[in-house]
Structure 1
Amino acid sequence: MEATHKFVCQDDLVNPLSSMGMQVACILVISHFFHILLKALGQPGPIAQILAGLVLGPSGLSNITEIKEFFFQASAAEYYEMFGFFCRILFMFLFGLEMDFAYVRRNLRVVCIVAYGGAFLASLFGLTASFFIYKHLLAENAKLNGSFVFCTMLLVSYTSSPVVNRLAAELRFATSDIGRLATSSAMVVELTCLLVFNLIIAFTRLTALRDGFFILLGLVPMLFAFKYLAVWLNKRNRKQKYLRNPEVLLILSILIAGSMLIEMAMFNSVIACFVAGLAFPKEGKTARTLLHKLTYSVHNFVLPVYFGYIGFQFDASHLKSLTNILIIVILVLLSLGSKISGTLAVCHFLKIPLNEGVFLGFVLNLKGHADLLFVGSASKALITWNPAAYNLLLITVVINTVISGPVVALLMRREEKLFTHTHTSLGFEPENPDQNELRLLACVYGPRHISAILSVIATIRGTQTASIMPYMAHLIELNQKRRTNVSYHELEAEEMSDEEDYGGNDVLEIHAAVDAFTAETQILINLNKAVSTLSNLHEEVCNAAEDLRATIILLPFHKHQRIDGKMESGKDAVRTTNQKILRHAPSSVGMIVEKGLAGALGFSQLFTVDIMQHVATLFFGGPDDREAIAWSTRIANHPRVNLTVVRFLPTESSNTRNMKVENEMGGNSDIEVYMALSSLETGNDIDNAFLNDFYNGYVASGKVGYVEKQVNNGAETVAALRDIGDLYSLFIVGRGGRGHSPLTTELSDWEECPELGTVGDLLASSDFNINGSILVVQQHRNSKKELVDD
């Protein structure tokens, strides 16, 4: 990059820097004004920022002579390019850190087909367009070479992943299935286009060997340095929640140094920065600090300036000619039509609905910074651009993004069903539930709750290869009014301080427990903090679950067990919040009650010990109990769990013969399991059909044990529960929804905590001594009628 070499060799140092700083400030201010106006129309932030660049650029205020002389100085272009270089380093490194690589790996075929399908057809149109541009825009003596053709093809087929990611975050479709497919496909297209562009540069020069050495010299040591530096920094200063600023500066300095070595070889370092972020160790406070620091600065400063700079390239003076206007219209239609047609074709092949294909086509047509590289100074070694061709291609890039962004927002409003929260309960998956990704939101109020919650996460994952996306929210009650009129450095100091008011030392203990859990299980947990008043704390949880499209919400019980075995109440705020979440949750909810004899090895230590845990799922009937069985199908696949389903039936249904089934689970072949053949003829038909499928899928194969208990009333139910109280380290039970069952109605006489349901409340009672924790499951309520607890 020429700017890298020239940046430190300029005579007019102060004026270009001051003009660049003023330009950046103006873009931020004007974009904020546009954002306020366009937000009411449902338009995302990037569109407002591009419009700010249009207003400030040659088509707007820069038409005024004084402003133009201030912003467009002799060497200002090199400074703008250098500033863009640092911006690209930061946001590509951040996107690598945030990249959901597990999703891409699981869906690699679909992602690549969608990405390359649209890009391939667009590149063919770009091939045709290259001859058209050569004939009408380039000088007559300009020679049409292969490099020009390839750059034009890349320009048309390229998709900007920063624009797509930011648009997805603004419009809140990043966590939906179609949104994840769009962002992943955009990243694949961008990296491929940049790789092809770098290869074109390499093959047109005779210094490929030297350049390859510089690339390896920049990338390989950077990856090794990050790997060992992250481990060392995680172990250093354990009492700190985040890294100190000098330590962050050290990491970013290594990143910039490696990128500049690659740039000195006249290659683009975007891919290297992304790979560095992708390979960076995600566990521990090092990655947590980088995400915390970079997310704010990149999303609120770097990307707005980057989008504004895209709009700043628009020069309306080239639209005075009717020929130029027709050329731009043709190029825009070619780009839009080819990308959408190619995407629709592959979506038809993949049997993706038409409306989703149209949405993907417009999303993948968003352009960005690499287009400026394809026609900018990075391609000067390949092509001598005609100023008219250069400016018209830049205008095409801007118009493509300005058109596609609002269309994507419009499609989102018209096709709300594509982005609604649909996976609100697990349901029963008889074949293999581990094949589907499980998204869950776990809530903790303090360090006391962390162990049991983490154990549930480790257990419900199932097998080690199962896909899970866990999020954890540290819920903190806001006791005082938050400061609003603070500057950024004051806010940062308040948020980054280890002595902060919100969370205090609890945050350190929670982070330490999560880091240890990740190191032990390799399950990466995204940890966040929710600070709100007591009356609104449940809204924070419900909104987060809906935005994250979580299938499960995990809550801790407000009571904890003392050394003498009695249950002691904690804060009333915990119980109040739990009750509100149960009423308004947008997904299924599980509440964990941690119990066990003092000093005994309980369920909460599951992920730290290598010992088989015995888990029982209690089934009385109803939707909540069926959801508990659905949770159990995932838990049964855990290598350290021996699961048994215990069904309670009225004694009147036992007048037929029983069949003895041997439990085939390893180490427990001597346990006899009894199943009443008549059970499918009694009770609720839905429950019977559900259990029939479950029995055929899990019990018959020996994965799960099955026991039936014959009882007449609540007293006999209590006696049966006492008999099995010492056999299991975890009891899973539905909250309610059983109607007026004679097996549980009498238990309500002792009910203390209705949020646990009749059976869960009995098991959690201080007077009911069992040697296991309790997981109470509530299925997602779809209507107000279902909100009534039976």
Structure 2
Amino acid sequence: MALVNITTNSSTALNTSQWNCEHSSKFQRFSKGIFYGENPLNHTLSVITLQASLVCFSTSWLQFFLAPLGEGSFIPQVLAGLLTGPTILGGIKSVKRWLFPAKPFYVCNTISFLGCVFFLFLVGIKIEPSMVMRTGRKTWAIGLCSFVFPVLLSILCALAIRQTLNPETDLYKSIYYIAIFLSGGSFHVTATLLEDLKLLNSEVGQLALSSSMVSGAVSAMWEVFIITRQQSTLQKKKDKSSIMMIISLVVLVIFICFVLRPIMLWMIRKTPKGKPIKESYIISVFLMLLVCSFAGEFIGEHFLVGPILLGLAVPEGPPLGSALVERLDNIVSGVFMPLYYLNSSSSFKIYLIDGRSLAVVQPVAFISFFGKVLGAMLPCLYSNMPLTDSLCLALLISAQGITHLLHLQTCQYLRVIDDQTYVQMVISLIWLTAVSTPVVKFLYDPSKSYLSLNRGKTIEHAPPNAVLPLMACIHLEENTLPMINVIEMSNSTIESPIFLYVLHLIQLVGRSAPVLMDHQLDFNFSQVSYHSQSIINAFKSYEQQHTGNMMVKLFTSISPYESMHDEICMQAAKQRACMLIMPFHMQWRSTQIIELAHPIRDLNLNLLRNAPCSVGILVERGNVINNNPLTTVSFYSVGIVFIEGSDDREALSYAMRMAGHPNVTVTVIRLIEPGKKSRTYVDTDPDGDLIHKFKVDFIEIKRHDYREEVVRDSVEMVNVIRSLEGCYDLILVGRCHDSESPLFSGLTEWNEYPELGCVGDMLVSSDSNFDGSVLVVQQQHRVGVSRNDLNNSLNAKQETITILEVPRETKMRQ
């Protein structure tokens, strides 16, 4: 027989233990399998694997139903833990016998707490402490008020309720702790919620992040002080224990800052630029993590204090911070944390819920939540922020999540609160967060902030001989030269200069808050990646060659792909850009086809739906790449396929500007139906007016040309498009046309790349031999409409955007 020591979570004594007897042959580590007559559920590893599978499946199932309602990831995770844990599913005797026996469950307990160590380490890595010092007065006001207001209101509420309670009850003793811990904020919870709602790059999201950093820092210091004080009260010698714990904690912080952090900085210096960090360095940091966790437990603090302090000391971003996040993020979020939620449900005893405790804790929780919302809204309203935006920001800051649950379990373990109060506080944590987050999803539209800044900024409607503001986005170093060639063709002159805003886009890895670096204000290469340096140098050299008629402003945006379009649109609106040029997600080379990360395609689709200006998608097919205006004089042949509509007019307007360049030849090919051939172009329609203007201004110049092609159906149109292969370096086409025209009959159903439109797809599809480049243009004239209206109008004007993967002979993924 074997004895298993099971420590209970009772609040009456920390040393209370139970002793259960088991057969020594039961719950060994590995099973021989059912074919050898063994039950896999009699083995620890099999039971833990089944527990993890159940909670992960439940989490995915709940996220599928709750995510469209606006719920973040926390609510499905905690509900999945309660449903599959001992609270509900484990309450069934037959299930509890096989799925939640004592020994495997407490092995799962140990694994889940190890997951918490890595989780809080990741939280610390993603936090940038310097953000607190860089925030403005408005951010400090929101952060401090969102902490002070709930503390004051909830303590007053607790004081009033305490007068009705029996002094001998646990609720009477812990009511003030309940008020304080329910008032705390968390930067990680706010950042995770913003990521779930895809609002990290929004105006309200940025303000919520910086404000939650302030309130989270103040809350953390306050809670650490209370926990340290409570730890000292559990010791028999109360005179010096508290002072020694505080001194030891300070020594641990000094050791991390002045010993471990310099070691990590040395690792970064030893890593060549652009190269991944050594695996031995990663393992060394993991050893530091375990040592810091043990040190926190050794000095009497919680074992989770050391990991978060070490995480804060890790230099954010690449190469070290990003590498650590890449190694740990998936396994922690996919395996360890589901087991933690399953394990935490064992402390949630549903039979302890009664009306009396419900009437005490829930009002305090609601008043605390109301105080957070009120405290965050008042500074916003004072600074003339709209009421809707103020409410959404307050709800984002007031949301609760995993870090609050960890604090509650620590309070339960240290007897700050009893089991009954813990259950009530978890209930309040769930319902308050579940109610508030959908409000943000349905009230706040980030596109309104930048759609309202731009009014009809298109190339077609831009005044002649005026400054042309363009924005170019770069993903990789290979996008630089094709983009410079397009800008060179755009004919920047002293009379009509170009203001070019270059945005280097980098995926957010290794930090929670997105970053936008303006290289004019702080041209510090130590803050940018190795690839950003080469991109910056190339555009700076191009600007120097065109002094007087070209101005280039360089930015680096580090943000998640899911919300990157909000950052791009906001910058395009602020800079009053007429056109935003984006690289296509596929790149053609002489020996291979390079397909970039799939989120880049989704990014382009989001920009087509939401951009406050015209959008051009640049597809690189070969010839333009061979020209290098930085070193030689380049000549370009440009063709425009003109059919009808605002997108074609925008493409032709851009081509007419290119036609003024002495080294550019422009040819307009207009495809018309037979019934429209005799139509008079002057003073009849916008298409005809622009065609007439091109003829008057440029057709007499010998290097430019205009021709019409009469096409009766889609087959003849395809033949004309195919005839252009090998004739031009760059072809401009409009994205959308009249889909009811017989010219497009049957074409939309076979598009490989619907975001390029019918004509662009013909030139770029896998069976095309076109070796030039294509710029697909969409004119943005729907300024001021909501996101839903914009999506509906796009769907009505063009086919539903679907993704069709076509196998190719040569493909390399990056």
TM-score, scaled relative to structure 1: 0.56
- Matched residue SS, 1:117: helix
Distance 2:585 2:86 in 1: 62
Distance 1:221 1:519 in 2: 36
Displacement after TM superposition at 1:122 (Å): 0.6
Structure 1, unaligned runs of 5 or more: 429-437, 458-466, 475-509, 529-540, 561-567, 604-621, 629-646, 649-712, 723-736, 759-773
Shift in CA distance, 245/133, structure 1 to aligned 2, threshold 3 Å: farther
- Residue 196 of structure 2 is aligned to residue 170 of structure 1: yes
1:347 maps to: 380
Which of the numbers 403, 406, 409 marks the counterpart of 2:432?
403
Distance 2:342 2:472 in 1: 37
Distance 1:410 1:311 in 2: 27
Q: Deviations over 1:499-529 (max 9, x none)?
A: xxxxxxxxxxx9964587799999866599x
Distance 1:264 1:419 in 2: 53
Q: Deviations over 1:431-484 (max 9, x none)?
A: xxxxxxx9974234xx64457779999xxxxxxxxx99741489xxxxxxxxxx
Shift in CA distance, 559/53, structure 1 to aligned 2, threshold 3 Å: closer
Distance 1:316 1:130 in 2: 24
2:420 maps to: 391
Displacement after TM superposition at 1:112 (Å): 2.4
Distance 2:340 2:99 in 1: 16
Which shows bigger deviation, 298-307 or 516-525?
516-525
2:292 maps to: 258
Check the 8 A contact 2:204/2:389 in 1, yes or no: yes
Distance 2:82 2:187 in 1: 21
Displacement after TM superposition at 1:393 (Å): 3.9
Shift in CA distance, 756/519, structure 1 to aligned 2, threshold 3 Å: closer
1:782 maps to: 781
Distance 2:408 2:305 in 1: 18
- Matched residue SS, 1:166: helix
Check the 8 A contact 1:58/1:316 in 2, yes or no: no
Equivalent position amino acid for 2:148 in 1: F
Which of the numbers 189, 198, 206 marks the counterpart of 2:243?
206
- Matched residue SS, 2:363: helix
Shift in CA distance, 44/376, structure 1 to aligned 2, threshold 3 Å: closer
- Residue 182 of structure 2 is aligned to residue 156 of structure 1: yes
Which of the numbers 254, 261, 272 marks the counterpart of 1:223?
261
Shift in CA distance, 283/544, structure 1 to aligned 2, threshold 3 Å: closer
Q: Deviations over 1:353-388 (max 9, x none)?
A: 22222222332232234444544446766xx4463x
1:674 maps to: none
Distance 1:511 1:294 in 2: 22
1:501 maps to: none
1:191 maps to: 217
Shift in CA distance, 386/201, structure 1 to aligned 2, threshold 3 Å: closer
Alignment of 1:320-339 (within 5 A): 321-339=354-372
Which of the numbers 705, 711, 714 marks the counterpart of 1:749?
705
Displacement after TM superposition at 1:599 (Å): 9.1
Which of the numbers 90, 98, 123 marks the counterpart of 1:62?
90
Displacement after TM superposition at 1:28 (Å): 1.6
Distance 1:626 1:422 in 2: 23
Distance 2:629 2:568 in 1: 37
Check the 8 A contact 1:138/1:385 in 2, yes or no: no
- Matched residue SS, 2:505: strand
Check the 8 A contact 1:178/1:356 in 2, yes or no: yes
Say how many residue pairs are matched. 567
1:123 maps to: 151
Shift in CA distance, 30/284, structure 1 to aligned 2, threshold 3 Å: closer
Distance 2:114 2:456 in 1: 48
2:543 maps to: none
Shift in CA distance, 526/518, structure 1 to aligned 2, threshold 3 Å: farther
Check the 8 A contact 2:138/2:379 in 1, yes or no: no
Alignment of 1:702-717 (within 5 A): 717=660
CA RMSD of superposed structures (Å): 5.9
Equivalent position amino acid for 1:412 in 2: K
Check the 8 A contact 1:24/1:305 in 2, yes or no: yes
Displacement after TM superposition at 1:295 (Å): 3.2
- Matched residue SS, 2:114: helix
Equivalent position amino acid for 1:781 in 2: Q
Alignment of 1:426-437 (within 5 A): none
Distance 1:572 1:454 in 2: 21
- Matched residue SS, 2:185: coil
Equivalent position amino acid for 1:360 in 2: L
Displacement after TM superposition at 1:121 (Å): 0.9
Check the 8 A contact 2:296/2:302 in 1, yes or no: yes
Which of the numbers 321, 326, 350 marks the counterpart of 1:292?
326
Q: Deviations over 1:95-116 (max 9, x none)?
A: 4444477876654433322222
Which of the numbers 474, 478, 486 marks the counterpart of 1:442?
474
Q: Deviations over 1:233-283 (max 9, x none)?
A: 446xx7xx6456555333222233223323422335767645644553456
Shift in CA distance, 137/254, structure 1 to aligned 2, threshold 3 Å: farther
Displacement after TM superposition at 1:209 (Å): 2.4
Shift in CA distance, 211/165, structure 1 to aligned 2, threshold 3 Å: closer
Q: Deviations over 1:37-66 (max 9, x none)?
A: 334545443222221122134541232346
- Matched residue SS, 2:705: helix
- Matched residue SS, 2:400: coil
Displacement after TM superposition at 1:126 (Å): 2.9
2:141 maps to: 113
Shift in CA distance, 182/721, structure 1 to aligned 2, threshold 3 Å: same
- Residue 279 of structure 2 is aligned to residue 280 of structure 1: no
Equivalent position amino acid for 2:203 in 1: D
Distance 2:102 2:585 in 1: 67
Distance 2:66 2:49 in 1: 26
1:545 maps to: 565
- Matched residue SS, 1:157: coil
Equivalent position amino acid for 1:30 in 2: S
Displacement after TM superposition at 1:302 (Å): 4.2
Q: Deviations over 1:508-555 (max 9, x none)?
A: xx9964587799999866599xxxxxxxxxxxx999636875746555
- Matched residue SS, 2:335: helix
Distance 1:149 1:554 in 2: 58
Shift in CA distance, 195/406, structure 1 to aligned 2, threshold 3 Å: same
Equivalent position amino acid for 1:159 in 2: G
Shift in CA distance, 54/413, structure 1 to aligned 2, threshold 3 Å: same
2:752 maps to: none
1:30 maps to: 58
Distance 1:354 1:599 in 2: 51
- Matched residue SS, 2:259: helix
Equivalent position amino acid for 1:345 in 2: L
1:91 maps to: 119
- Residue 208 of structure 2 is aligned to residue 182 of structure 1: yes
Displacement after TM superposition at 1:120 (Å): 1.0
2:765 maps to: none
Check the 8 A contact 2:582/2:604 in 1, yes or no: no
Distance 1:140 1:151 in 2: 16
Which shows bigger deviation, 398-407 or 371-380?
371-380
TM-score, scaled relative to structure 2: 0.55
Check the 8 A contact 2:82/2:345 in 1, yes or no: yes
Identical aligned pairs, as a percentage? 15
- Matched residue SS, 2:389: helix
Displacement after TM superposition at 1:206 (Å): 2.6
Displacement after TM superposition at 1:342 (Å): 1.8
